[in-house]
Amino acid sequence: MPAETAVIVADAHLYHTPGSPSDALFHDFLRIVPTLGHHLILNGDIFDFWFEYKSVIPRQVFPTLALLASLRDHGVSITATGGNHDRWGGAFWSEQLGAQFRPNGCDVSVAGFNAHIRHGDGLIERHVGARIFHWLTRRAVVRGAFHAVHPDLGFWGVRKLSRILGDSTRSEHVITTAAERQKTWALRLLTGRADLQLLVLSHTHRAILVEPEPRRWFLNPGPWMDEHRYAVVTPDGPELRVFGGNSRR
């Protein structure tokens, strides 16, 4: 593989449904990441919910964390951004996984390109459910209050809320409208930031790759959940893929 190849995946929403085949397939995908690239970028909402306690981790996510630790041992660098479902991360990512965790996105070199990576929630929200999630995940008082709740009760409540709000934002009309608004926002940002060569957003569950100027791109890798999508970035540029095959758009 070319030097500095990066793999980008987002919106897996792991453990949204117990025993989901999509979760098992994501683990298969993680196992082959070392054959795809040297840098894994997890661009938010990998978990349907994540909360970082000082002393414990949710037992159901252990298989995923073990595979991420294995990638680290294979020399794959990991960058994770926070999504509206899993923004409450912290030192666990660096201390136990050797990863960089950026709750609100970051500027980073991706396959040699100057890139800005962020999940994308809160930028173009109109739906009330999405706005609620965005507001909740950015409030220190909400995070502090959740920390005081027993994990069994807290995760039960979050699963209930996630399904109610999530089901209300997955219609084709809502997704299409959000994707178009995100594209408009992204192209405006690329125009305003001449230093950027690659802008990566997720969140809309709609894959897109556009090149408004030579060797400058807006990329949304699309959702792993349901569609098993990801992206690969080489020094030649980004491309969209589907696990088990390739696709370019």
Q: Reply yes or no on whether the pLDDT at 127 is more than 80.
A: no
Alpha-helical regions (H) of the chain: 21-36, 62-73, 91-95, 128-137, 140-147, 151-167, 172-192
What per-residue confidence (pLDDT) applies to 179? 93
pLDDT category of residue 1 using cuts at 50, 70 and 90: low
Q: Reply yes or no on whether the pLDDT at 105 is more than 90.
A: yes
The DSSP letter of residue 47 is B
pLDDT category of residue 140 using cuts at 50, 70 and 90: confident
Nearest in space to 84 (alpha carbons), one of 139, 33, 34, 35: 139
Domains and CATH numbers, the chain: 6-246 (3.60.21.10)
Per-residue tokens: 135: 């507001």
Dihedral of CA atoms 154, 158, 160, 162 in degrees, nearest 10, equals 180
pLDDT category of residue 29 using cuts at 50, 70 and 90: very high
40-55 pLDDT, tens per residue?
A: 999 999 999 888 888 8
User: What percent of the chain is modeled with pLDDT above 90?
Assistant: 63
151-197 pLDDT, tens per residue?
A: 888 878 877 776 666 555 567 888 889 999 999 999 999 999 999 99
The DSSP letter of residue 49 is -
Which residues have a Cβ under 8 Å from the Cβ of 44 and sit 6 or more positions away? 10, 11, 81, 82, 83, 84, 85, 86, 87, 118, 119, 120, 121, 202, 203
Compute the average pLDDT of residues 215-240.
Answer: 97
192-210 pLDDT, tens per residue?
A: 999 999 999 999 999 999 9
Per-residue tokens: 51: 């909360």
What per-residue confidence (pLDDT) applies to 116? 98
pLDDT category of residue 7 using cuts at 50, 70 and 90: very high
What per-residue confidence (pLDDT) applies to 174? 80
Nearest in space to 132 (alpha carbons), one of 124, 123, 122: 122
What per-residue confidence (pLDDT) applies to 170? 66
Residue 163 to residue 165: CA distance in whole angstroms: 6
